[in-house]
A and B are shown apart, each in its own frame.
Chain A
Amino acid sequence: MATAACAIFMTSCTREGCTDPAASNYVDNADSDDGSCEYDVVAPATYEFTDDNGNNTVSFTGQRQRLNMLSEMTSYLKSANNPGTALEASTLLAMYANDGYTWEDSEGLSMTGSSKQLKNKTVGGESFYTDMFEGYMNGIAEASANTVDGVTDGAAGQAGVVLSTTNPAKQYLQDAQGQEWTQLIEKGLMGACFMYNISSVYLAPGKMDVDNTTAVDPAAGKYYTAMEHHWDEGYGYFTDAVDYAPGGNGTNRFWGKYANSRETVLGSATKISEAFRLGRAAIANDVMAVRDAQIAVINAELERLAAGTAIHYLNDAVSDFGDDALRNHELSEAKAFIQALQFIAGTSVPTAEVEHLLEDLGEDYYNVTTAAITEVRDELAALTGLTDVADQL
């Protein structure tokens, strides 16, 4: 009896309810939030947003330029998989810093001479990382030049082009330990540049705790607020397709592609793109609780995506264990995807764990064991909560 009376007394003095004024069920005089807030924000079907006057507020041209830069760089890198094709280190470095390089620029985005570059967006231009990527570029240039001079066959202890023994269509230029520069650069920059900027820059407090009331520069066509624009820039590093959908547009390259590739198991393509659309609608409606919930979804799904993709390639490397070209190729991909995990806000696989995993895998892919690969796979799956689906990836 006494307890019940006390409880009644307690609730009558602390009124519980939804305390967020942005919520549809906001209780004006509630003074303790009970987690019941509901919001009217809905995600539109595509990533298209306008202001009250119908002006387009979405822009991520800078991101599209960088995606296109990495596409062009990757296709240049891959040309070295044919023996006798020498890459110029100076060309790769010029592409990386967008310094004096003339882009093909098939979409006419004025990439040549633009201020946009991959290098200064690689982990904020941190030299530890940019030096690493430039080292890869110098490495592939040197090895590719050697294939012109007749050193074509890669093998343990010998950089060169390694031919798949099970799939005649596959051959890759790999270093003396079987590491493949092209993968370390392309997938590496997906992590150190694209992933880092989505998660640790644009969706992080520094770019989210900004003005969301005033259009940046309507006279110059910038009808978006600073917050809206930052969100769009994050989206643009995931995909540059406003109608991104599994199996549809935007699944041709980079994170949009790999999310789609693992969609049946992870569902990340759907979840990430929906969270971006919902979060953007929340910003347009100034509902920060919904925005923040979507940031959490995006970060969690980016982690599952990078880890799941790494696990997929580790599985492939075990399946293709006897095929030097494929095993090395897949381990190089796995390495880059594991490295990407450290660039996600709140990651379960921070830098120290990444280093630990890569140490267990070893540097020499000609001297790796199935036990080491499966151990790294299982550890990674345990860290990221993917143990139950690791075999399906």
Chain B
Amino acid sequence: MFASNHLKRETGLRFWGPVLPFLVLLFSGCDPSDDNNADNFDRGAYLTETADNIIVPAYAEFAEESQSLKQALDDLVLGQVSAEDIIALRETLRETYMAWQRVQLFDFGPAINRALLVTTNTYPTDPVEIAEAALLPSWTGGLPGILDSSGLPALEWLMFSEDATATAVTWNEETSGRLFHARRLATFMADEAEAVHSSWTSGYRDSFVASTGTEAGSSIGEMLNAFNRVYEANIRKGKLGLPNGFMTFSQTPQPELVEAPFAAMWSVDFLAESLKSCAHVYFGDDSNGSTNALGLDDYLKSLGDVSYGEGLHDDIAAQLSSAETAIASLEDPLATFVVEQQAASYDVYGELQALVVLWKVDMMSSLGVLITYQDNDGD
């Protein structure tokens, strides 16, 4: 059912895709500051609420969690690390990782300028590279070659490659460099998180809420492109479609590609939290849109039925609910589930895919916002 629906809409996009930029060009040519939509939605208020109630608090929380993790590592004493310390650290890492799921969607502006998404959560991580890096006297974060041995996944491996008791023993060996390197990784991550957070609070927030158009490069354009891109590539595909084999040519499950494979019991929670944060952005609040917070749902409703807005909103709300239910049917370890119950995981994938169609194709065209992230010059 999802497949055929998807196919139909994709075909439509492919047909109109090349024409769309020129149409927009034509309109904006008259007056670039003119909005394409004749809607009366207060985008300034919407952006202000989104920045102040969702984005900035989410970054504040992620920066704070990262800082706690760094502090917890700094507080450990080499030679005196216990299994209990490792267990406590793992919990702090989990909370930081959960906080990450709530900022990953905002991969534009300050975050993209620092490549926060790839320095924080590139997986699968490379254990050999991490173990080698731990032995190096100096280490520089943020270089392209070490993204797959940095951030949350690298810390996860350091804390979970052995059981808690064995991990404590290894960490206590100065020659392993593990504690030392975990601090470097956490420090870099905390510094980057804080840098992005402070970019938002020291200027970017103001320019973000002031850019109320819908053209490419506007706040709405940037935010919704990041929203769709991260949902499509990092959430739908990265957290499920690659591990369960759906997105691979051979359709063979690749359990090693799940998020947080060493912790093993976090993958589904992270996927669920990711979808929850999408819903949060979509509705503008934590609930199902029943409060007054302005969200994308209100933006769509403001268009009325004429522009397919209200009907589309109902479809999205229903599909979000189906997707949440579907994710709840997954079980950790996800790495095992995608192998043993691949077909069931495909059904869940279908529910996530249906949201791509509704958000990326239907919502974006209803709002008159161009998808720019697949724009390339073909060479």
Please state if B217 and A322 are interface contacts (CB–CB under 8 Å): no
B320 at the interface (CB under 8 A from A): no
Please state if A264 and B24 are interface contacts (CB–CB under 8 Å): yes
Please state if B144 and A321 are interface contacts (CB–CB under 8 Å): yes
List 19 other contacts, CB 8 Å, given A264-B215, A318-B112, A367-B145: A78-B379, A156-B145, A166-B233, A261-B377, A264-B24, A264-B28, A265-B216, A321-B118, A322-B118, A322-B147, A324-B144, A366-B144, A367-B144, A370-B114, A370-B142, A391-B217, A392-B216, A392-B217, A393-B217
A191 at the interface (CB under 8 A from B): no
Nearest residue, chain B, Cβ from A329: B379
The answer to whether A366 and B115 touch (CB under 8 A), given A78-B379, A246-B25, A392-B216, is no
Please state if A247 and B22 are interface contacts (CB–CB under 8 Å): yes
Please state if A366 and B28 are interface contacts (CB–CB under 8 Å): no
Please state if B216 and A318 are interface contacts (CB–CB under 8 Å): no
Please state if B113 and A366 are interface contacts (CB–CB under 8 Å): no
- Give the chain B neighbours of A393 by CB distance below 8 A: 217
Please state if B113 and A318 are interface contacts (CB–CB under 8 Å): yes
A242 at the interface (CB under 8 A from B): no
A263 at the interface (CB under 8 A from B): yes
- Give the chain A neighbours of B379 by CB distance below 8 A: 78
B122 at the interface (CB under 8 A from A): yes
B38 at the interface (CB under 8 A from A): no
A327 at the interface (CB under 8 A from B): yes
- Give the chain B neighbours of A365 by CB distance below 8 A: 144
Number of interface residues of A (CB under 8 A): 30
B318 at the interface (CB under 8 A from A): no
Number of interface residues of B (CB under 8 A): 27
- Give the chain A neighbours of B377 by CB distance below 8 A: 257-258, 261
- Give the chain A neighbours of B143 by CB distance below 8 A: 366-369
Nearest residue, chain B, Cβ from A157: B145
Q: In whole angstroms, what is the CA distance A393 to B113 when docked?
A: 14
- Give the chain B neighbours of A370 by CB distance below 8 A: 113-115, 142
A374 at the interface (CB under 8 A from B): yes
Closest chain A CB from B14 CB (angstroms): 14
Residue positions of A touching B, CB distance < 8 A: 78, 156, 166, 246-247, 257-258, 261, 263-265, 316, 318-319, 321-322, 324, 327, 365-371, 374, 389, 391-393
The answer to whether A322 and B215 touch (CB under 8 A), given A166-B233, A264-B25, A369-B142, is no
Task: Report 16 cross-chain contacts, Cβ distance below 8 Å, ordered by A residue.
Answer: A78-B379, A247-B21, A264-B25, A265-B216, A265-B217, A321-B118, A322-B117, A322-B118, A367-B144, A368-B143, A370-B115, A370-B142, A371-B114, A371-B142, A391-B222, A392-B217
The answer to whether A263 and B25 touch (CB under 8 A), given A257-B377, A318-B112, A321-B115, is yes
Name, among A78, A166, A264, A318, the residue most crowded by chain B CB atoms within 10 Å (CB to CB).
A264
Q: In whole angstroms, what is the CA distance A206 to B88 when docked?
A: 76
* Residue among A246, A264, A322, A324 making CB contact with B115, cutoff 8 Å: A322
Interfacial residues of chain B within 363-377, with CB under 8 A of chain A in the complex: 373, 376-377
Residue positions of B touching A, CB distance < 8 A: 21-22, 24-25, 28, 109, 112-115, 117-118, 122, 142-145, 147, 215-217, 222, 233, 373, 376-377, 379
Q: In whole angstroms, what is the CA distance A321 to B115 when docked?
A: 6
Q: In whole angstroms, what is the CA distance A78 to B376 when docked?
A: 16
- Give the chain B neighbours of A371 by CB distance below 8 A: 114, 142
Q: In whole angstroms, what is the CA distance A374 to B109 when docked?
A: 11
List the 10 closest A-B pairs by CB distance, nearest first: A392-B217, A322-B118, A321-B115, A247-B22, A370-B115, A322-B147, A156-B145, A374-B113, A370-B114, A369-B142
Nearest residue, chain B, Cβ from A323: B118
Closest chain B CB from A180 CB (angstroms): 10
* Residue among A156, A264, A366 making CB contact with B216, cutoff 8 Å: A264
Nearest residue, chain B, Cβ from A261: B377
- Give the chain A neighbours of B114 by CB distance below 8 A: 370-371
- Give the chain A neighbours of B147 by CB distance below 8 A: 321-322
Q: In whole angstroms, what is the CA distance A341 to B114 when docked?
A: 27
Q: In whole angstroms, what is the CA distance A391 to B199 when docked?
A: 15
- Give the chain B neighbours of A389 by CB distance below 8 A: 217
- Give the chain A neighbours of B115 by CB distance below 8 A: 318, 321-322, 370
Closest chain A CB from B289 CB (angstroms): 31
Nearest residue, chain A, Cβ from B237: A166
Q: In whole angstroms, what is the CA distance A389 to B118 when docked?
A: 25
- Give the chain B neighbours of A322 by CB distance below 8 A: 115, 117-118, 122, 144, 147
Nearest residue, chain A, Cβ from B18: A247
- Give the chain A neighbours of B28 by CB distance below 8 A: 264
Q: In whole angstroms, what is the CA distance A265 to B213 when docked?
A: 14
Closest chain A CB from B71 CB (angstroms): 25
- Give the chain B neighbours of A246 by CB distance below 8 A: 22, 25
Q: In whole angstroms, what is the CA distance A393 to B379 when docked?
A: 18
- Give the chain B neighbours of A257 by CB distance below 8 A: 377
Nearest residue, chain A, Cβ from B122: A322
- Give the chain A neighbours of B109 by CB distance below 8 A: 391
